[in-house]
Amino acid sequence: MTDHTASLCLPPSVRARGTITLPGSKSISNRALLLAALAEGSTELHGLLDSDDTRVMQAALQALGVSLQAHGPGCVRVTGAARWPVRAARLFLGNAGTAFRPLTAALALMGGDYHLSGVPRMHERPIGDLVDALLGLGCVVDYEGQAGYPPLCIRPGALQLQQPIRVRGSVSSQFLTALLMAAPIAAGRAGRDVVIELDGPLISKPYILITLNLMARFGVQVRRDGWARFVIPAHARYVSPGRYQVEGDASSASYFLGLGAIAGGPIRLEGVGADSIQGDLAFARVVEALGATVRYAADALEVEGVVVAQGARLRAFDEDFNLIPDAAMTAAVLALYADGPCRLRNIASWRVKETDRIAAMHTELARLGAKVESDADSLTVHPLADDQWRAADIRTYDDHRMAMCFSLAAFGRAPVTILDPGCVAKTYPAYFSDFQSLLQS
């Protein structure tokens, strides 16, 4: 069980170097688990992330009658089926959006009775856009609390595929991902194309590309008209690829890319590289723009940067982070070491993540002594001079990314204490041991 009471003090550090093997991608792991559970045949998933979120997904699938067998670290054999055996279940999904949203869509098309709930914060994270789309498809989904939010009760419905399914993508790309992954269930049952149309703009487009890439690996080719229209062909069905290797997590790579940018390096990251299907790899270009050097291999990255503890500075930035909102949190902490104010734009999706990340980042950066400005969809961070750093206890709000990105504040002029460091178990249980292994005395 994760310890949510401890704290971790990080004294001021100077340099870091070494090699890290990244854990498997959370986004890919939970998508691959779901698709393997829906596919004909057995799939061996290798490099699977072992974390709170993936355990939630695996426990839910097993509760629904899907066979999952572990075959060593990071390897699980999943025996799938287009219809899962258990037709009534109560599922607790913690705060795992990558489990809650896709399972909502899949179960709404299964024709059973299901109750889905999570931790209190999950019940504050919106799901109304996905539910509205499912209702338009003929599914029966009821709110058990506040309208637009979990918990949910799902009951059998009658499919209606005469019109395209319309879904908004301006709050979370996970709603479209959920519909795309579940759509072959409807296409197979109805024997006709399923058409999904976007109603308005779509954020975090790279995550949709991950979804489409994985669906293709499991035998379903989606026809796409730009970002407006997606067609899942009639009689589509998932078929196991036999074996699938999960690549390292590009969002987690952002912390080590940032570390190399401010602590000299070189730091080599193994498990993700130029061949990655993850959009968060674009953060490597961000740290290059800040002044670091990044070298790319097919499945590895190496970063070298300046040494801020010896007076060097990163270049200031003003960037749109709509495509990589998770990795953008790392940039907000790197801004403390810049040569001028830094602005992060188009990050409204931070408001509906594990915590309100705009508010949380504003508060905790200010706790370190920084001047910070924020509004509905942006954050501006003013760098700290050597005499402005304050020792601080950083609250993490039960948000794994808050804990990980603020580890980079350890290169200022005062100690930083991370409260509840165990919250990183959501996606990267070994993060702090890996981080500290790179620090040079």
Q: What does the block give as tokens for 328?
A: 């953008």
Q: Which residues pair with 169 in a beta bridge?
A: 202
Written as one string, the DSSP assignment of 20-88 is: EEPPBPHHHHHHHHHHHHHSBSEEEEES---SHHHHHHHHHHHHTT-EEEE-STT-EEEE--SS-S--E
Measured distance CA(167)–CA(197) in Å, rounded: 6
Token couple for 63: 């509760």
280 is catalytic: no
Q: How many residues does the chain have?
A: 441
Continuous segment of H or E residues that includes residue 287: helix 283-290
Residue ranges of alpha helices (H) inside 126-204 are 128-136, 174-190
Q: With H, G, I as helix, E, B as strand and everything else as coil, classify residue 220.
A: coil
| Given the residues 326, 398, 399, 434, the one annotated as active site | 326
Nearest to 426 by CA among 42, 119, 14: 119
Report phi then psi at 197, rounded to 5: -120, 140
Give the residue among 415, 285, 430, 421 at the shortest CA–CA distance from 11.
Answer: 415
Q: Hey, is 281 helix, strand or coil?
A: helix
Query: Known catalytic residues?
Result: 326
